[in-house]
Structure 1
Amino acid sequence: MTEARPPVPPFTTETAQRKVQLAEDAWNTRDPEKVALAYTKDSEWRNRDVFLKGREEIVEFLTGKWERELGYRLRKELWACDGNRIAVRFEYEYHDADGQWFRAYGNENWEFAANGLMRKRYASINDLPIRPDERRIAV
């Protein structure tokens, strides 16, 4: 059986918005195994200065991320889409083990295989320390 993850390309604005919402929902589970299933087995990532290839590396990376980034909550927004590519802007909030809150902002460029699995993800991200009363993303 071939893996598939609808919606599949070519994307319309509506199907791309659905894909973005599905990604947001999955990442907010903070379940690395579940999130990794949305990517091809040989998916390529750039996340800040980290370069990953394949689901095993994605799971390992996300496991460490969510061990450090506590209380993680994410929001994504469709920026553009064309064919098998989607661009998103996002922000997420988290705190570290010392209780310091952060808001991370960024952009991602996604490229999908015909079956709707993401084969490339390139993320640029900036973090900003915030006070707890500055949080915008409710849990």
Structure 2
Amino acid sequence: MTPPTSLRPPFTESTARQKVRAAEDAWNSRDPARVALAYSEDSTWRNRGEFLQGRDAIRGFLTRKWASELDYRLMKDLWSFTDNRIAVRFQYEHRDASGQWRRAYGNELWEFDNEGLMRRREASINDVLIAETDRKFHWPLGEPRPADTSLVLCVA
């Protein structure tokens, strides 16, 4: 995997796609320390209705997230890009401690500094309850998704 900071603005379609895949792979590791390294020290986030500032807050958020969102698997897809911004659509599945499965659908807007670190992230996310039999993401937990798996959107 290419380290996220080696992919710096200005983005091309190729480097934007690589940046999205590197982010997806990092998030699928469910390692808050690893994921937080992709963000600038003063990065600002909006995640649903929660607002965060800085890498330490991001690390704490991700630790809490993955403690409650069990069996988490994520797929991201490039929607659009400019010199230093990328728009992403995504889906992820997880279950809670009671065993109830959910699929989350969302969009993210990313802005990067000159070093390729994300300095701003805005995420809008909606959840749908699903039966375990309706799950779509079945690759081994904590691993990147297989290359031949594509994101199917707008299907609950």
Instruction: Tell me, yes or no, whether TM beats 0.5.
Output: yes
Once superposed, what is the RMSD of the aligned Cα atoms? 0.8
User: 2:127 is paired with a residue of what secondary structure?
Assistant: strand
Q: CA deviation at 1:72?
A: 0.2
Paired residues for 1:1-139 under 5 Å: 5-139=5-139
2:133 maps to amino acid = D
User: 1:35 is paired with a residue of what secondary structure?
Assistant: helix
Q: CA deviation at 1:138?
A: 1.3
TM-score, scaled relative to structure 2 = 0.86
User: 2:5 is paired with a residue of what secondary structure?
Assistant: coil
Q: CA deviation at 1:45?
A: 0.2
Q: May I ask how many residue pairs the two structures share in their alignment?
A: 136
For 2:148, the equivalent position in structure 1 comes to: none
Cα distance in 1 between the residues matched to 2:44 and 2:76: 20
Cα distance in 2 between the residues matched to 1:138 and 1:25: 15
Cα distance in 2 between the residues matched to 1:74 and 1:84: 23
Q: CA deviation at 1:6?
A: 1.6
What whole-Å deviation, never above 9, does each CA across 1:18-72 have from its counterpart, x for those lacking one?
0000000000000000000000000000000000000100010000000000000
1:21 maps to amino acid = R
Cα distance in 2 between the residues matched to 1:81 and 1:6: 17
Cα distance in 2 between the residues matched to 1:137 and 1:91: 10
2:102 maps to amino acid = F
The structure richer in strand per residue is: 1
TM-score, scaled relative to structure 1 = 0.97
* Unmatched tracts of structure 2, length 5 or more: 140-156
Cα distance in 2 between the residues matched to 1:18 and 1:127: 27
Q: CA deviation at 1:103?
A: 0.1
For 2:151, the equivalent position in structure 1 comes to: none
Q: CA deviation at 1:95?
A: 0.1
Aligned-pair identity in percent equals 60
Cα distance in 2 between the residues matched to 1:93 and 1:70: 9
